[in-house]
Amino acid sequence: MANPENLQYTKEHEWVLVAGDVATVGITQYAADALGEIVYVDLPKPGSSTSYMKICGEIESTKSVGELYAPMDGEVIESNSALGNAPEAINQDPYGAGWLIKIKYTQLPELLTAAEYAALTGE
Amino acid sequence: MLTTPLNDEHVSLGATFTDFGGWNMPVRYGSDLDEHHAVRNSAGLFDISHMGELHVVGAEATKFLDSILVSDISKLSIGQAKYTIICSKDGGIIDDLIVYKMDPEDYLIVANASNRHAVLVAMQDMADYGFKVDIFDETEDWALVAIQGPKAKDILGKLVDTDLTELKYYSIAKANLDGVPVLLARTGYTGEDGFEIYIPVLESASIWRKLLATGGKDLLPCGLAARDTLRLEAGMPLYGHELNRTLTPFEANLGRIVAFDKGEFNSKTELLKASGQKLETKLFGVRGEGKRAARADYEIFLPGGESSIGKITSGVLSPTLGYPIAMAYLKADLDLTPGSKLEADVRGTRVPYEIVKLPFYKAER
């Protein structure tokens, strides 16, 4: 599957879209497929702070629980409330309607390119 | 890793695979929730060829099975199926099985994939006492598929030469399916009406395709993920979760299938002892609220309690019911009854649970 070229990635299978001082974060198609059908998400509330590679949320499928790692230091300014009633959007459209949180970041770490991430997942 | 005769079919359907009991099995083809709902509302098709098929034949086949299984096998009539348990001498559960009586001296026994060899060894040990019986492991001679759901009967009915209405729940018969001789059993592991079909390996792929083509949009291929959520809603135990060697049938709520009045059997002494003692733990059904499910190995507490009263063995957000359900082994001396309040520790957070009656879900028949 194609990882969008305009996004950056983490080793924990998140994607990051940077626009100004705000980064939108989601999980990759690879991660969504590996989890299976997602039935519940527990996302950090707006106003909470995030630390690089610290767990900040949970994504549950019927079969397993995945942890969401914050890709950067910062403050959550919005979480995708539409996922409360429709968590399957993460499976169906992980790079669009399935976005998880927006972070106003204080520092941007080094992230992976689409090609680097593809190499990581062996695709 | 072992592969089933239908492996190529799963690959071409785009399945995701997992190792289950040493077999490479499909977990899901698309959405496991869609597959789950298809079985509840329409029909689903499962490859369960990993299950072990053991064939027990001989003049003393009945007597032999009565000596090693906890049920009264002599009471079975030809074509009847029975859910039963094989225990070790100390009363621990080696496996749960289905026994089909094919002929007076001929039984088909279906074991869990991961226990097939343990069952075979236990049976061989017993046979060595001099029973006139032969035991054959025919697991790799058969493909086994399950068609389950309210529309299963109509779909299968279009392809077989027998009247499926005549095939009662928990019975088995020979039939021709699209011209191929098969065994048809009205059994399953989903809580819905349905059939399990024993197919010779060579014909299995063509029959799998024929079933899918005949079912059309009413029949979805289903993987082990859906099979697990379906069986859990139906309150059916899974070996390795609700059943294991350290448990007797009494703790697992399966005491009713132990036939003490049938004469001697390998585990009778220990099971009699166990049946007369107070249980330390017992299997319960519990449910939660909201969408956050407590899963296997999570601890259960009384509300505000400091020490755990037991552990969940299987837990999931029920796709049919919409709330979390689980089975759990809990202390048996706490007067827990449906409605009793509990708490589950979900990764560090206590969430409310309560005891409910099993099964969680029952199909209208």
Measuring CA to CA, how many Å separate A39 from each of A62, B104, B140, B223, B292? 6, 49, 37, 17, 9
Show residues of chain B in contact with A30, CB under 8 Å: none
Q: What does the block give as tokens for B300?
A: 């259960």
Q: Cβ of A14: how many Cβ atoms within 10 Å?
A: 22
User: pLDDT-based confidence at B365, cuts 50/70/90?
Assistant: low
Residues B7 and B149 in one domain: yes
pLDDT digits (tens, 9 = 90+) for B244-279: 999 999 999 999 999 999 999 999 999 999 999 999
Domain that holds residue B28: 2-50+140-233
CB contact under 8 A, A63 and B225: yes
Which pLDDT band, with edges at 50, 70 and 90, does A63 fall under? Answer: confident
Measure CA of the first residue to CA of the last residue in chain B; give whole Å. 39
Q: Taking the C-alpha atoms of A36, A38, A39 and A42 in order, what is their torsion angle to the nearest 10 degrees?
A: 130
Strand partners, A74: A50, A105
- The pLDDT tens digits of the residues spanning B282-322 come to 999 999 999 999 999 999 999 999 999 999 999 999 999 99
Does residue B329 sit within a domain? yes
Instruction: Tell whether B74 is covered by a domain.
Output: no
Does residue B324 form part of some domain? yes
The residue among B176, B203, B233 that closes a domain is B233
Structure-token pair, residue B136: 């054959």
Question: Which residue has 């928990």 as its token pair?
Answer: B170
Q: Is the pLDDT of residue A62 over 90?
A: no
Average pLDDT over residues A72-97: 95
Please tell me the predicted confidence (pLDDT) of residue B342.
98
pLDDT number for residue B20: 95
Residues B35 and B144 in one domain: yes
The answer to whether residue B228 neighbours chain A at the CB level (below 8 Å) is yes
Nearest chain A residue to B318 by CA: give it.
A62
Q: What is the CATH number of the domain that holds B339?
A: 2.40.30.110
| Interval B3-32 mean pLDDT | 96
- Pair B147, B35 in one domain: yes
B218 with B329, same domain: the answer is no
Residue B190 lies in a domain: yes
By the CB < 8 Å criterion, does A65 face chain B?
A: yes
- How far does the CA of residue B142 sit from the closest CA of chain A (Å)? 29
* Partner A contacted by B291 (CB < 8 A): yes
Whichever domain contains B188, its CATH number is 3.30.1360.120
- How many domains, chain B? 2
Of B196, B218, B233, the position where a domain reaches its end is: B233
Check whether residue B352 and residue B215 sit in a common domain.
no
Q: Is the pLDDT of residue A1 over 80?
A: no
Which residue in A has a C-alpha nearest to residue B228's C-alpha?
A63
Report residue B50's pLDDT band, with 50, 70 and 90 as the boundaries.
very high
Are B83 and B72 in contact, with CB atoms under 8 Å apart? no
The residue out of B203, B233, B263 marking a domain boundary is B233
- pLDDT > 70: percent of chain A: 98
Average pLDDT over residues A65-79: 95
On whether both B219 and B303 belong to a single domain, the answer is no
Regarding whether B160 and B221 lie in a shared domain, the answer is yes
Residue B219 sits in the same domain as residue B304: no
pLDDT at residue B11 above 90?
yes
The reply to whether B112 falls in a domain is: no
Question: What distance in Å separates the CA atoms of residue B271 and residue B266, rounded to the nearest whole number?
Answer: 10
* Nearest-neighbour CA in chain A from B16: distance (Å): 9
pLDDT in tens, B171-224: 999 999 999 999 999 999 999 999 999 999 999 999 999 999 999 999 999 999
Q: Same structural domain for residues B288 and B167?
A: no
Q: CB of B122 within 8 A of CB of B86? A: yes
Q: Is the pLDDT of residue A19 over 90?
A: yes
Asked if B178 and B289 sit in the same domain, the reply is no
B44 in the same domain as B152: yes
* Average pLDDT of the residues in A24-53: 94
Question: Is the backbone peptide bond immediately before B181 cis, with ω within 30 degrees of 0?
Answer: no
What are chain A's domains? 8-105 (2.40.50.100)
The answer to whether residue B149 sits within a structural domain is yes
Q: Is residue B90 part of a domain?
A: no
Give contacts of A36 with chain B, Cβ < 8 Å. 16, 27-28, 32, 225
Overall average pLDDT of the B149-173 stretch: 96
Residue B271 lies in a domain: no
